[in-house]
């Protein structure tokens, strides 16, 4: 039986807006096994990114339980969370979040500065990560010298440079054209198949979700039952996708 690396139980996240209460995620039950490539799919505002941020310990739940790699991360203090995240999680943001004045190599090196590695070792690891994503000829380029697809691949290299247990990807194709999107999704599939990376990817694009081995759907903060079909989950007529 595969090791379960993410498990949530009645996971709920609420926000306050003035006197009103907004339920972003309601009693979500999720289980992700080691080596899975799971897509979390749904329209904007459905709770996808909220769930991803809770898994990454970038936010804390209002109620319920979340176990990641066997640990209840909601109980960690801020410093412990930061150390744990840097060691175990590779996060890829939709907006890339690269540092404009740093080269691709320096951007990828950043997470390693929180480790005990020396500079020579850090640069070697960062160079290797960029080679894996096909950017060995862009090491000295800054973000403004790269295409959108190349920026996203730098962000993926940065997320994987520490060899994390989990890669969490937020809308990886949202800012890309069709060609760049295909390159990025193909790369994520390769990382999952060839390097056994466990990946959870948020997307609203059915074509992107097809690259995952499992798909779960969210609607208005509710995580639908495992095994729901796209037509049922998205309210589309059968045969649409």
Residue spans per domain, the chain: 35-60+74-229
pLDDT, one tens digit for every residue, the chain (241 residues): 679 999 999 999 999 888 888 999 999 999 999 999 999 999 888 999 999 999 999 999 999 999 999 999 888 888 899 889 989 999 999 889 999 999 999 999 999 998 899 999 999 999 999 999 999 999 999 999 999 999 999 999 999 999 999 999 999 998 899 999 999 999 999 999 999 999 999 998 889 999 999 999 999 999 998 876 545 444 444 333 3
Consecutive H or E run containing 89: strand 89-92
Asked if residues 197 and 189 have their Cβ atoms less than 8 Å apart, the reply is no
Which pairing describes strands 37-41 and 214-219: parallel, antiparallel, or unpaired?
parallel
The set of residues, in sequence order, having a beta carbon less than 8 Å from that of 149 and lying 6+ positions away, is 176, 177, 179, 180, 181, 183, 184
Give the closest residue to 166 by CA, choosing from 75, 73, 37.
Answer: 37
Provide the token pair at 147: 């295409």
**Quick one: the chain helix, strand, coil %, rounded to 5?**
35, 25, 35
Please return the burial class of 228, using the count of CB atoms within 10 Å of its CB with bins 0-12, 13-18 and 19+.
middle
In Å, the largest CA–CA distance within the chain is: 56
Rg (CA), the chain: 18
User: Which pLDDT score is estimated for 44?
Assistant: 87
Architecture field, domain 35-60+74-229: 3-Layer(aba) Sandwich (3.40)
User: Which pLDDT score is estimated for 174?
Assistant: 86
The set of residues, in sequence order, having a beta carbon less than 8 Å from that of 168 and lying 6+ positions away, is 52, 55, 56, 89, 90, 91, 92, 199, 200, 201
pTM over the 0.75 mark:
yes
User: Which pLDDT score is estimated for 98?
Assistant: 96
Cα angle value 177/179/184 (rounded, 5°): 90
């Amino acid at each position: 039986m595969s090791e379960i690396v993410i498990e949530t139980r009645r996971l709920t996240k609420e926000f306050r807006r003035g006197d009103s209460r907004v339920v972003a995620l309601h009693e979500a039950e999720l289980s992700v096994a080691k080596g899975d490539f799971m897509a979390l799919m749904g329209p904007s505002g459905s709770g996808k990114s909220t769930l991803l941020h809770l898994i990454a310990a970038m936010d804390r739940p209002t109620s319920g339980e979340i176990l990641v790699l066997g640990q209840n991360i909601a109980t960690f203090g801020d410093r412990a969370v930061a150390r744990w995240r840097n060691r175990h999680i590779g996060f890829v943001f939709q907006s890339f979040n690269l540092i404009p004045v740093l080269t691709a190599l320096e951007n990828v090196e950043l997470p390693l500065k929180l480790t005990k590695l020396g500079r020579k070792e850090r640069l070697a690891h960062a160079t290797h990560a960029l080679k894996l994503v096909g950017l060995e000829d862009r090491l000295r380029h800054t973000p403004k010298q790269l295409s959108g697809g190349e920026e996203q691949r730098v962000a993926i290299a940065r997320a994987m440079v520490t060899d994390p247990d989990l890669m969490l990807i937020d809308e990886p194709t949202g800012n890309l054209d069709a060609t760049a999107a295909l390159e990025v999704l193909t790369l994520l599939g390769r990382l999952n198949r060839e390097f056994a990376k466990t990946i959870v990817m948020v997307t609203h694009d059915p074509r992107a979700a097809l690259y995952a081995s499992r798909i779960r759907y969210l609607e208005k903060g509710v995580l639908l039952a495992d095994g729901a079909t796209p037509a049922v989950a998205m309210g589309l007529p059968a045969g649409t996708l």
